[in-house]
Structure 1
Amino acid sequence: MSLWPPWRGRGEKDPMGGPSQLPKQDYEALQERCLRNGCLFEDSSFPAILSSIGSGSLLRKLPPRLQWKRPPELHSNPQFYSANARRLDLCQGLVGDCWFLAALQALTLHQDILSRVVPLNQSFTKNYAGIFQFWFWHFGKWVPVVIDDLLPVDEAGQLVFVSSTYKNLFWGALLEKAYAKLCGSYEDLQRGQVSDAFLDFTGGVTTTINLAEAPGNLWDILTRATYSKTLIGCQTYLGSERVLENGLVDGHAYTVIRIWKVTCKRKPEYLVKLRNPWGKVEWRGDWSDSSSTWDLLSPKEKIMLWRKDNDGEFWMTLKDFKAHFKLLVICKLTPGLLSHEVGQKWSCTVQEGRWEKGTTAGGRMKSHQARDTFWKNPQFLLSVWRPKESRTLLMPCSVLVSLIQKPRHRHRNRKLPLAIGFYLFRMSQLFGDQRKLPREFFLKSHPLSLPEEFLREKEVSQELWLEPGTYLIVPCTSEAGQESEFILRVFSRKHFFHEIGSSPKAVFFKEIVDQAEGHEKFFKYFERNPEINAAELQKILNQLPWSGLEGTHPLFSLDACQGILALLDLNASGTMSIQEFRDLWKQLIHYQVVFHKHDSDRSGCLNWGQLRAAMKSAGIFQNLTQDGKGIYLQKPEWLLMIMYS
């Protein structure tokens, strides 16, 4: 199983600023055009020809006389998706993409997460035009992928790649085609890791546990994971996907779908339930479908847990699981999962960066000589604070850092990913000039955290326990001169995060610098008070100059500030952080510009016609209720009502 990361299809501007390979395709417009013209959509950017399947070994696996057909040609009653069908109904085809399918099957255990990737209102009846759309999280942004529904089939009309045990369901086959388009071709799905697909399905942070070195509380980790918003997969030791005597497949990915503690011979036994993406071939050891160990359970437990079906699903003990599987992959949608902080509100900050040969590709820290280039790597300043409700506790703050590299070729397996990692340093003093820390800093400083090894993976992450204070994060490749783009994400309860070399005023608070004419009082205020209450918010808002708006200075009442704080205070601390204020300021500036644009007579008030035009311009109050008599208020819309009430 390869560690190579996925890539995309063809054409549009990438959110990272580099060229992407996905075309700009408007799903609604294309569907409407096909319906108007009475034709079915054919995707010229991912056509129904062999080049979309690949150009190498996969072509040799294809059946003779391969055809491309649409689901209505393959079944008399095709359905896109059925909530009544058994969730784990997908089976792997000729593509060696067990890693993709194992992740996808984990996705089906969470309907709300699945519906973000797979819009479930698509069908082969209402407004059917042979066009479908799926969504993937790609390097900091959700991107749509549009496809036609022409699928590769053999001479008998059987799907060549992913299929469903329900022969009339096609969402899995169509999603695989969309992912193949994103990655370059079907052949580009041949190798990969479960963690790659988890990231593309959710934007969550993946944690990989080497089961040979598993922590003693592994069962507790699995318990919290199965009862939280997580996706769980696992992988056997590397191999050629051959079936071993014990029924497991080497070099193969599986989905963890359930855990259960039973009582056996008056002692607890810890069981893990897995599914093989093939939809068949199962474990043959203890607690397998044919094992006599089931007779040791009470009749009630046996009836509840035991099923004898050749469906690829099986139970095994936690001990056997640790012995026969190499990796456990947990995709966390709540970053506090592994730190006993489940349910706490976390904030996330994302920064984009680039390693460029000769300027910012400094490589890892090897020796004093190597540090001549190490300091050239991008440098990010991180300030960590305890939330207000935790300030009486002396425990360190939990911070999750995720580094994701961008693939270097539109076909995901054409170029190996770089080996990447990041260093963490404690800052004993602040550098006011906001320039990169010089070589001398790294000669004198020892990293607080450093990579045990540099990994050739799309994402590397680490959970850190940090005392409140200021830190430096330096992401890098294993060797100097290696080029790539990356995104760096930081999750914590309270933090401030920006790249050195472009000050926080330019990165996080560009709007404030522009509108407040370089007013420094605000920044100094937040340096003294990492969090502010409603009265302090009122003071700041009423003191800042609002230049360039050609109107009277807005005055904020204490009631209005209390309402704003209640709206934006995600962790119910009663205070606002610097990141939360940044979001607030951006929205206030936007609405002020819109207001003054439509206040044509400079009266300081909007009449009904002007107000309606301003709302349309701001793109608010558009969400009608089902009966059309009311609206759903989103956060910016409620904020606007507070401002002008």
Structure 2
Amino acid sequence: MPRLAFLSGEQKSRKMPIRTGTFKKPRRLLDQNYQVLLETCLRNKKLYVDDVFPATLNSIGTGDLLKKLPPDVQWKRPHELVKNPQFWCENASRFDLRQGLTENCWFLAALASLTFHHDILTNVVPQNQSFDRKYAGIFHFRFWRFGEWVDVVVDDMLPVNKDGQLIFVSSIRKNLFWGALLEKAYAKLCGSYEDTQIGQVSEALVDFTGGVNMSIRLAEAPSELWEIMQRAAYSGSLMGCQTRSGKEQVLENGLVAGHAYTVTGIRKVTCKTGPENLVRLRNPWGRIEWKGAWSDCSVKWEQISLKERILLRRTRDDGEFWMSLEDFKIHFVELVICKLTPDLMSPASGMQWTLSMQTGKWSAGSTAGGRMSYQETFWLNPQYRLKILTGDNMEKSVNSCSVLISLLQKQNHKHRNQSPPLYIGFSIFKVPLEFQDLKSRLPQNFFAKHPPVNTTCIFINEREVSQDFRLMPGAYVIVPSTAEPDQECEFILRVFSRRHVLQEQGGNILCCKTIVDKQEDKIWEKFFNKYFMKHPEINVDQLQLLLNKANWTNVKQVPVKFSLDACKGFMALLDLSATGTLSMQEFRTLWKRLLFFQEVFQKKDIEKTGYLNLNDMQAAVQERGISLSDRFTNLMALRYGDSSMKISFDNFACFMLRVEMMGEVFHNLSKDGKGIYLEEAEWHRPRRSHSGFSYSLRGWQVGAARPCRVRRHNTSKGLKGTPSYLNLVGSQEDSLHASSLQPY
């Protein structure tokens, strides 16, 4: 039967449903209103029971996953499992969660990446929930689903074995349940726990952020891969990767075949033989690590400075490890970058971008024309006219504009695994002047005579396909399609650029909207980029200049100016290469931390005086998951406060940065998370210091700060340092120092 070569009037007038779920006001899944349900349960003094996603085997699945279940599966609420259940902790990290029976490493790998973005994580996991205040056995979570944010409600009944142990995602902290409940909400969104077994880390990254994925086949990686990863890290993008496909098993090199990993960091280090690019990865199992070069026990670590070694190396089997970029390209098949802002591929990062989005549908016999090789029907696919406008400073990029295009297909079935993705792709064509005034669809003969801009149109059977272009200002047409004709599916087309207009051919113009909420952040980003183009490395005076250009206070507060001593302290803590300067990457690390410290400071400075008292400072520190005794808090106030023991923001930032950096040092040195154990051979001859004796540990000063007590370990010929061994009292311009402070 010949395919129709026209659109009926009914089909022309049919519109896709309007997406209503926004970031601030998400759509309710199945119209379940969390607030109404919560208040009803509280009023009736009953715990919530979700009849839509019930505590039965049907919610787990109907296939192979059932065969893995232990006998006598029960559903229990957290109060039935532990004495003091907690929903959330302020210092949630990538090390919290462990994979269960469900083979959803891709989900956990994306979630681990999300812990680096506290603001996004707290949107996915709303914070006004607990097992104490207004507890009714009901919780809710938010996900980005096909162009809109969706709020998902669940009860807190979780599947456990006969010993009361969670059989799916669990936390290393036995009383922490946000991860297990988040997994349940995601399983409900996908249809069942079993529907989360097979997937791509790219899919989960988009569901958590609403971002756009870019996939790089590492066997064909561009020469500038390291620069791409650096821009991804600078712009706050999330990264994940995948080993070669096959049965999920541990290989001799310590990697797991057919497994998803999280990229948790990158670092260029200086070895004796020259610089080397390192990638830090994490196995979502929370154990099983790489055994090659730059692994925890590798001799490669001896080639870098002690300072870098202590801050970067981890010797615990926590699933996180380093490897060289070259080994990364050899042993991993794909790198996925989820861009929260679409300026990753543009050197002009920090400039304003805009987003346009259109929803459409491929319908058999009318708008599902297949790829270009089907010449008779290709033109029937939906067409979208894209107009690239001239932007500011475009002459720097030879008048071209960076454009990112994303095509996303919608799941057609309630159960995610029962709706395998189609092979999809898109072509983009330059529209000549004689066709630019055409209001109707471009005809069949146009596509026969004009080749697409993307000469290689890739069709993949994944939920999203995206491609980055450099386009000259002018008119273009985008044609999304399935690989084969007459395949039906809904889709979303998203276009990002600095200045453009997108409209469906024959439809209404879709106005662009800014994808960045905080324009001020963009202004600072642009300023820093320009500055570092002139000064790739900055000294302490330049650091002070940059920090003091920002406004760190509210209107009613006294102005904040960072002293030279404070900047020297920042420099000592962050200058890992010991050059006396900070690179752009190191400065961005400091800037991001200072912005967070400012948020905490202003939250605790209720009266907006510009200072924190003792109680306020202790509360602010506790918000970062750090507990200090009253005695130690007084000591910190004496060191960092004024004569009235009040702490200004600049001193608070110095203290907090020292606390966090020293905490990282301790956890990297500690093998069990409880102490640091040193053999006598590791200690040098004692020397006299201003507070008694001190010992030199490979260039680190130990035991020199008061109130410090160095004590001999009882069970070996060594010494033990406790978790609060850190010298937080030292002057701000000191390098990293350690002392064996007793724990509080």
TM-score, normalised by the number of residues in structure 1: 0.74
Matched, 1:398 2:405: no
Matched, 1:314 2:318: no
Query: Quick one: distance in 2 between partners of 1:220 and 1:363?
Result: 36
Once the two structures are superposed, the pairs formed by residues 248-287 of structure 1 within 5 Å of their partners are 248-287=255-294
In structure 1, the residue matched to 2:228 is 221
Following TM superposition, by how much is the alpha carbon of 1:453 offset from its aligned partner in structure 2, in angstroms?
2.7
Following TM superposition, by how much is the alpha carbon of 1:480 offset from its aligned partner in structure 2, in angstroms?
0.6
Following TM superposition, by how much is the alpha carbon of 1:570 offset from its aligned partner in structure 2, in angstroms?
11
Following TM superposition, by how much is the alpha carbon of 1:391 offset from its aligned partner in structure 2, in angstroms?
5.7
Aligned with 1:371: secondary structure?
Answer: coil
1:143 is matched by which residue type in structure 2? V
Following TM superposition, by how much is the alpha carbon of 1:42 offset from its aligned partner in structure 2, in angstroms?
0.7
Among candidates 467, 483, 504, match of residue 499 of structure 1: 504
Among candidates 338, 355, 368, match of residue 361 of structure 1: 368
Query: Quick one: distance in 2 between partners of 1:213 and 1:62?
Result: 40
Matched, 1:427 2:434: no
In structure 1, the residue matched to 2:138 is 131
In structure 1, the residue matched to 2:127 is 120
Query: Quick one: distance in 2 between partners of 1:230 and 1:571?
Result: 15
Alpha-carbon spacing, 1:569–1:114, altered in 2? closer, same or farther (3 Å): closer
Paired positions, count: 501
* Unmatched runs of 5 consecutive residues or more in structure 2: 1-15, 21-26, 513-517, 524-602, 608-744
Following TM superposition, by how much is the alpha carbon of 1:16 offset from its aligned partner in structure 2, in angstroms?
6.0
In structure 2, the residue matched to 1:483 is 488
Once the two structures are superposed, the pairs formed by residues 237-386 of structure 1 within 5 Å of their partners are 237-366=244-373, 370-386=374-390
Query: Quick one: distance in 1 between partners of 2:201 and 2:475?
Result: 34
Query: Quick one: distance in 2 between partners of 1:266 and 1:568?
Result: 43
Matched, 1:449 2:462: no
In structure 1, the residue matched to 2:164 is 157
Following TM superposition, by how much is the alpha carbon of 1:315 offset from its aligned partner in structure 2, in angstroms?
1.1
1:160-187 per-position Cα deviation (integer Å, ceiling 9, x unaligned)? 0011111111111111000000000000
Query: Quick one: distance in 2 between partners of 1:87 and 1:192?
Result: 20
Say whether the 8 Å CA contact 1:282–1:314 is kept in structure 2. Answer: yes
Among candidates 44, 55, 64, match of residue 71 of structure 2: 64
Query: Quick one: distance in 2 between partners of 1:384 and 1:571?
Result: 22
Q: Which moved more, 1:27-36 or 1:406-415?
A: 406-415
Say whether the 8 Å CA contact 2:98–2:286 is kept in structure 1. Answer: yes
Following TM superposition, by how much is the alpha carbon of 1:88 offset from its aligned partner in structure 2, in angstroms?
2.5
2:378 is matched by which residue type in structure 1? F
1:35 is matched by which residue type in structure 2? L
Following TM superposition, by how much is the alpha carbon of 1:305 offset from its aligned partner in structure 2, in angstroms?
1.6
Matched, 1:28 2:35: yes
Aligned with 2:230: secondary structure?
Answer: helix
Aligned with 1:33: secondary structure?
Answer: helix
Which 4+ residue blocks in structure 1 deviate beyond 6 angstroms? 567-572, 625-629
Say whether the 8 Å CA contact 1:346–1:571 is kept in structure 2. Answer: no
In structure 1, the residue matched to 2:84 is 77
Say whether the 8 Å CA contact 1:384–1:468 is kept in structure 2. Answer: yes
Query: Quick one: distance in 2 between partners of 1:571 and 1:470?
Result: 28
Once the two structures are superposed, the pairs formed by residues 469-480 of structure 1 within 5 Å of their partners are 469-480=474-485
Aligned with 1:185: secondary structure?
Answer: coil
Alpha-carbon spacing, 1:457–1:121, altered in 2? closer, same or farther (3 Å): same
In structure 2, the residue matched to 1:596 is none
In structure 2, the residue matched to 1:538 is none
Say whether the 8 Å CA contact 1:424–1:450 is kept in structure 2. Answer: no
Aligned with 1:336: secondary structure?
Answer: coil
Query: Quick one: distance in 1 between partners of 2:44 and 2:507?
Result: 52
Query: Quick one: distance in 1 between partners of 2:482 and 2:310?
Result: 53
Say whether the 8 Å CA contact 2:19–2:148 is kept in structure 1. Answer: no
Query: Quick one: distance in 1 between partners of 2:264 and 2:172?
Result: 18
Say whether the 8 Å CA contact 1:422–1:451 is kept in structure 2. Answer: no
Say whether the 8 Å CA contact 2:427–2:457 is kept in structure 1. Answer: no
Matched, 1:463 2:456: no
In structure 2, the residue matched to 1:178 is 185
Query: Quick one: distance in 2 between partners of 1:489 and 1:418?
Result: 18
Following TM superposition, by how much is the alpha carbon of 1:22 offset from its aligned partner in structure 2, in angstroms?
3.9
Alpha-carbon spacing, 1:151–1:298, altered in 2? closer, same or farther (3 Å): same
Following TM superposition, by how much is the alpha carbon of 1:147 offset from its aligned partner in structure 2, in angstroms?
0.5
Query: Quick one: distance in 2 between partners of 1:137 and 1:14?
Result: 17
2:417 is matched by which residue type in structure 1? N
Following TM superposition, by how much is the alpha carbon of 1:45 offset from its aligned partner in structure 2, in angstroms?
0.7
Following TM superposition, by how much is the alpha carbon of 1:387 offset from its aligned partner in structure 2, in angstroms?
1.6
1:358-413 per-position Cα deviation (integer Å, ceiling 9, x unaligned)? 110000111xxx22111100000000012244367633100100000111211111
Following TM superposition, by how much is the alpha carbon of 1:87 offset from its aligned partner in structure 2, in angstroms?
4.0
Query: Quick one: distance in 2 between partners of 1:318 and 1:570?
Result: 31
Query: Quick one: distance in 2 between partners of 1:469 and 1:245?
Result: 54
Following TM superposition, by how much is the alpha carbon of 1:295 offset from its aligned partner in structure 2, in angstroms?
2.5
Larger RCO (CA within 8 A; separation ≥ 6):
1
1:390 is matched by which residue type in structure 2? M
1:61 is matched by which residue type in structure 2? K
1:450-482 per-position Cα deviation (integer Å, ceiling 9, x unaligned)? 544310010000011100000010000001111
Alpha-carbon spacing, 1:308–1:503, altered in 2? closer, same or farther (3 Å): closer
Matched, 1:148 2:155: yes
Aligned with 2:478: secondary structure?
Answer: strand
Aligned with 2:377: secondary structure?
Answer: helix
Aligned with 2:30: secondary structure?
Answer: coil
Aligned with 2:416: secondary structure?
Answer: coil
Aligned with 2:31: secondary structure?
Answer: coil
Query: Quick one: distance in 2 between partners of 1:435 and 1:571?
Result: 39
Give percent identity, aligned residues only: 56
Matched, 1:208 2:247: no
Query: Quick one: distance in 2 between partners of 1:112 and 1:261?
Result: 27
Query: Quick one: distance in 2 between partners of 1:125 and 1:277?
Result: 30
